[in-house]
């Protein structure tokens, strides 16, 4: 796959893992957190922008750089969790759809929120591929994200329209419950079997 200019908003567990994985796959990658000038520069430069900040920081990011996301493929990796670590938006909408409303000119794609950061640089667990579920309304943006996920090492699966973020976000929450609440740890992940 040809090299893509990829910006990542957020340089924590997820941002740094994606930076490693996407660089290894041959892309140019820049991850930036709260430095507003650097964020604006990075977004103007990037073709694809991953959003990897805490859910409750999204409004702040949109206020600061939302205009710059017009026309860009924006990959929403966030899990919509509130301060109590509960699903913040319920089941009648999703963080992905709410983000699309906040940046209507961006091409929002929901992806990778069901994967622990520990596996985001390889897309693999125990030598087997994890599934990257990818949901979005813009076909070319979704295809691009499917290709990027495959290039990292994931089994990339088209999970339908952005509305299906309503399903992917509870699935991400299940992953968190299994790993952190029910004591399985982060060496677990979701994988789609095909018969």
Ligand X SMILES: NC(=O)c1ccc[n+]([C@@H]2O[C@H](COP(=O)([O-])OP(=O)(O)OC[C@H]3O[C@@H](n4cnc5c(N)ncnc54)[C@H](OP(=O)(O)O)[C@@H]3O)[C@@H](O)[C@H]2O)c1
- Contact set with ligand X (CB under 6 A): 9-15, 33-34, 52-55, 57, 60-61, 77-79, 81, 113, 115-117
Q: Is 184 helix (H, G, I), strand (E, B) or coil?
A: coil
Closest alpha carbon to 49 in 64, 36, 68, 63 = 68
Q: Which is nearer to ligand X, 113 or 151 (CB)?
A: 113
Q: Which is nearer to ligand X, 142 or 172 (CB)?
A: 172
Q: Which is nearer to ligand X, 11 or 139 (CB)?
A: 11
Q: Which is nearer to ligand X, 25 or 176 (CB)?
A: 176
Q: Which residue is nearest to ligand X (CB)?
A: 12
Sign of torsion, CA 38 63 114 97? negative
Write down the least CB distance from residue 186 to ligand X, Å: 7
DSSP secondary structure string, 109-171? EEESTTS-GGGTTTSEETTEEPEEEEEES-HHHHHHHHHHHHHHT-EEEE--SGGGHHHHHHH
Write down the least CB distance from residue 139 to ligand X, Å: 24
Write down the least CB distance from residue 2 to ligand X, Å: 27
């Amino acid at each position: 796959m040809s090299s893509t200019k990829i910006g990542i908003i957020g340089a924590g567990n997820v941002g740094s893992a994606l930076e490693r994985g996407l660089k290894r796959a041959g892309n140019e990658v820049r991850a930036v957190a709260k430095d507003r000038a650097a964020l604006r520069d990075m977004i103007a430069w990037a073709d694809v922008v991953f959003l990897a900040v805490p859910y409750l920081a999204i409004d702040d990011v949109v206020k600061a750089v939302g205009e710059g996301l017009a026309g860009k493929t924006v990959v929403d990796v966030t899990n919509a969790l509130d301060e109590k670590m509960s699903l913040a938006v319920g089941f009648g909408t999703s963080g992905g759809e709410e983000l699309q409303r906040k940046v209507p000119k961006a091409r929002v794609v929901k992806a990778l929120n069901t994967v622990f950061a520990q596996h985001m640089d390889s897309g693999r667990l125990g030598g087997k591929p994890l599934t990257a579920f990818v949901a979005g309304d813009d076909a070319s943006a979704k295809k691009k994200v499917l290709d990027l996920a495959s290039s990292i090492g994931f089994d990339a699966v088209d999970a339908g329209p952005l509305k299906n973020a309503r399903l992917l976000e509870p699935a991400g929450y299940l992953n968190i419950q299994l790993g952190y609440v029910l004591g399985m740890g982060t060496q677990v992940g979701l994988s789609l079997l095909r018969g």
